[in-house]
Amino acid sequence: MGLIVQKFGGTSVGTPERIRAVARRIVETRRRGNGVVVVVSAMGKTTDQLIALSREVTDSPPEREYDMLLATGEQVSSALTAMAVHALGEPVVSLTGAQVGILTDGVHTKAKIMNVNRERMDKELEDGNILIVCGFQGINDTGDITTLGRGGSDTTAVALAAALQADVCEIYTDVDGVYTTDPRIVPEARKLPLISYDEMLELAQLGAKVLQPRSVEYGKLHDVVIHVRSSFNDEPGTIVKEVSDMERDFVVTGVASDKKVSKLAILDVPDRPGIAHRLFSALAEAHVGLDMIVQSVPAEERNHVMFTVAEDEVGKAITVLERVKKELGAGGITCEAKVAKVSIVGAGIAHNASIAARMFGALAEKGINIKIISTSEIKISCLIDRDQADQAIKAIHDAFELGGGNS
């Protein structure tokens, strides 16, 4: 008998009818002879509504109480799903994060799973029960409820699959799988049958919303095979696992974009040791998240330093730059608020010079100017005007022949 972990996202359990459909799928899996552990998200937009509700009471809810509130969403969906499974005649029990043994650190609102104690799960499975577990939540070592950050139910599912050494962790969602790029921007985008953890992690961090990045890290660490698939049909989706070179068809796996970035520059800072350290320490103290840091070639013993930040952190970052400008002896600060980052991701990129040439060629042909380039082992990112982002994605996707007709 196999053991399968299935996770259903908010849309998949968004209404009573959908919950009943999910229950049928769970029961089918069970009747094929598998042990089944299910993780559910809160119904539809429940978590957003709970956040809005807290804001109506106070601007600054204590984080412990915030977690206490947000965790209720998953308690509703897990109990209802268990009722629907029960109605189909299978033995079932719903369990909270604490009951199922998910121990986290104490960082409320974005806690990390430290350990999964499988005792209760083993007992329930031995008794023949299907388990319906509240995603997104755990308990810290003082016994308080914590939550795992938005989208955290994915990580709950992968963590349970790891602890139970399940055969597969199926993530049921409202899309068919992971695509070469966003099909809403490029209709020819192709569903990927297979993607490696590292590539998936890049895509997730670059804005592909199908999986919480931490769930992919967790999967990689514990070798959990993740199957991302639609809860609305029976088509196979995308398998995320360690991929060998033999299994790879394409050097470039996908094209991603992040349209919510802004570019900041601090101009004419002295070219001497300690300047970058002071600048970025000040940004770090203010918890500003950065990417694409570039320092210009020095001219007359002066440099420009540029970097990107998430659009909603621009205000915070500028406040820091204004404060340190004088201390650093900088000439000025500039901000381009409306830029976008387009990236190609693929395991072979770093070892293949023609890939970069092809990407830049696609942009050049459309007359798109590149403001910053950054590369890593498995990705090349270009910062461009936000207005041109969709056009850029189409051009790059075409240039690498990633569309449906070419596979």
User: What is the pattern of x (binds ligand ASP, CB under 6 A) and - over residues 43-62?
Assistant: ----x---------------
Window contacting ligand ASP (CB under 6 A); options: 41-49, 104-112, 230-238, 320-328: 41-49
User: What is the pattern of x (binds ligand ASP, CB under 6 A) and - over residues 346-385?
Assistant: ----------------------------------------
Comparison of 214 and 304: residue with beta carbon closer to ligand ASP: 214
User: What is the pattern of x (binds ligand ASP, CB under 6 A) and - over residues 68-107?
Assistant: -----x----------------------------------
Residue 163, CA distances (Å) to 87, 110, 272 in order: 29, 21, 50
Nearest approach in angstroms of CB 228 to ligand ASP is 13
In sequence order, which residues have a C-beta less than 8 Å from that of residue 175 and are 6 or more positions away?
210, 228, 230
Which two structure tokens, joined as six digits, stand for 153?
């139910």
Residue carrying the six token digits 């809403």: 184
Q: Walk across the sheet containing 254-270 and list its strands.
A: 290-295, 302-310, 254-270, 332-345, 379-385, 372-376
Q: Could you tell me whether strands 113-116 and 102-104 are parallel, antiparallel, or unpaired per DSSP bridges? A: antiparallel
How long a stretch of residues is the chain?
407
* Contact flag: residue 42 with ligand ASP (CB under 6 A): yes
Which two structure tokens, joined as six digits, stand for 90?
């299978």
* Contact flag: residue 19 with ligand ASP (CB under 6 A): no
Nearest approach in angstroms of CB 205 to Mg ion is 15
Comparison of 237 and 346: residue with beta carbon closer to ligand ASP: 237
User: What is the pattern of x (binds ligand ASP, CB under 6 A) and - over residues 223-252?
Assistant: ------------------------------
Stated as kind and residue range, the H or E segment containing 390 is: helix 389-399
Query: Could you say which residues in the range 3-22 bind Mg ion, by CB under 5 A?
Result: 9
Residue carrying the six token digits 């609102």: 109
**Residue 179, Cβ density class (10 Å: 0-12 exposed, 13-18 middle, ≥19 buried):** buried
Window contacting ligand ASP (CB under 6 A); options: 40-48, 123-131, 174-182, 241-249: 40-48
Which one, of 399, 393, 390, 387, lies nearest residue 361 by Cα?
A: 399
* Contact flag: residue 153 with ligand ASP (CB under 6 A): yes
Residue 176, CA distances (Å) to 172, 179, 206 in order: 9, 9, 19
* Binding partner of residue 42 among ligand ASP, Mg ion, none, CB cut-off 5 to 8 Å per kind: ligand ASP
Comparison of 210 and 269: residue with beta carbon closer to ligand ASP: 210
Task: Answer for the pair 400, 352: CB distance below 8 angstroms, yes or no.
Answer: no
Which two structure tokens, joined as six digits, stand for 50?
């709970």
Interface residue with ligand ASP among 41, 140, 262, 303 (CB under 6 A) is 41
Nearest approach in angstroms of CB 395 to Mg ion is 30
* Binding partner of residue 136 among Mg ion, ligand ASP, none, CB cut-off 5 to 8 Å per kind: ligand ASP
In sequence order, which residues have a C-beta less than 8 Å from that of residue 300 and are 6 or more positions away?
none
* Binding partner of residue 170 among Mg ion, ligand ASP, none, CB cut-off 5 to 8 Å per kind: none
Torsion of CA 209, 210, 211, 213, to 10 degrees: -30
Whole-angstrom Cα distance, residue 333 to residue 287?
A: 19
Amino acid at 176: D
Window contacting Mg ion (CB under 5 A); options: 97-105, 132-140, 149-157, 268-276: 149-157
* Contact flag: residue 151 with Mg ion (CB under 5 A): yes
User: What is the pattern of x (binds ligand ASP, CB under 6 A) and - over residues 133-152?
Assistant: --xx-------------xxx
**Residue 112, Cβ density class (10 Å: 0-12 exposed, 13-18 middle, ≥19 buried):** middle
Return residues touching Mg ion (CB under 5 A).
9, 151
For ligand ASP, the binding residues (CB under 6 A) are 9-10, 41-42, 47, 73, 135-136, 150-154
